[in-house]
């Protein structure tokens, strides 16, 4: 499950939210330094200042490195939710959903919550002829991941989830269509 070790011409750091390097096994943002790193973005000094620091590029990927130097990518920083101070990696929840035999397509997005900050909301498209309830999917996830990571709701999407030209699910579009209000309507009882 590792992406391997760093190329001999480069360096990798795992950086915590405080900006300091994390020890082996600690999860944080992956920073890379080496000859393939560009100096910055063309005509975007603000974005360059945010992303490039003393020759290091902040990749936006979250990961950890073991004692032998093997790198493990966990998720994208933008795809991580923070629920009441606990990190939820969307890909972990999505993998639990994909493990259900009725699920064809799945995405997890953050839904605003007044006291917890945000909470996980699952959006799924079911396989043809499959039917499952929101509660059944939530129970399925609860068998595989920690309770605080289980989606609070499941929205059944009538078609394949929106994707970009590279085939990646466009979560911004899902959020826009579902709205960003903490009070969401209940999903249908059974997916169709």
- Residues 37-60: pLDDT tens digits? 998 999 999 989 989 999 999 988
* Residue whose tokens read 């059974």: 190
Residue 43: Cβ within 10 Å count: 7
Residue 90 has pLDDT above 80, yes or no: yes
Q: Write out pLDDT tens, residues 155-183.
A: 999 999 999 887 888 888 898 888 754 44
Distance CA 88, CA 77 (A): 10
Residue 11: Cβ within 10 Å count: 13
Distance CA 36, CA 15 (A): 20
Give the up-direction half-sphere exposure of residue 62: CA atoms within 13 A in the CB hemisphere. 19
pTM of the predicted model, to two decimals? 0.66
Distance CA 19, CA 126 (A): 41
Backbone angles phi, psi at 114, to 5 degrees: -65, -35
Contact present, 124 and 130 (Cβ < 8 Å): no
Alpha helices in 61-144, H assignment, sequence order: 90-98, 134-142
């Amino acid at each position: 499950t590792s992406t391997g070790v760093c190329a001999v011409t480069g360096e990798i750091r795992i950086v915590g939210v405080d900006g300091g390097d994390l020890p082996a096994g600690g999860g944080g943002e992956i920073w890379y330094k080496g000859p393939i790193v560009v100096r910055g973005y063309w005509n975007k000094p603000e974005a360059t200042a945010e992303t490039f620091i003393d020759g290091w590029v902040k990749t936006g990927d979250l990961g950890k490195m073991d004692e032998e130097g093997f790198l493990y990518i966990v998720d994208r920083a933008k795809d991580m939710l923070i629920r009441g101070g606990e990190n939820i990696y969307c890909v972990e929840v999505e993998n639990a959903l994909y493990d259900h035999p009725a699920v064809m397509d799945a995405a997890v997005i953050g839904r605003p919550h007044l006291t917890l900050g945000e909470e996980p909301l699952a959006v799924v498209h079911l396989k043809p002829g499959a039917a499952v309830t929101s509660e059944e999917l939530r129970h399925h996830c609860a068998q595989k991941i920690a309770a605080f990571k289980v989606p609070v709701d499941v929205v059944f999407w009538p078609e394949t989830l929106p994707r970009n030209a590279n085939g990646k699910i466009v979560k911004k579009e899902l959020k826009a269509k579902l709205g960003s209000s903490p009070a969401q309507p209940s999903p249908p009882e059974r997916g169709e």
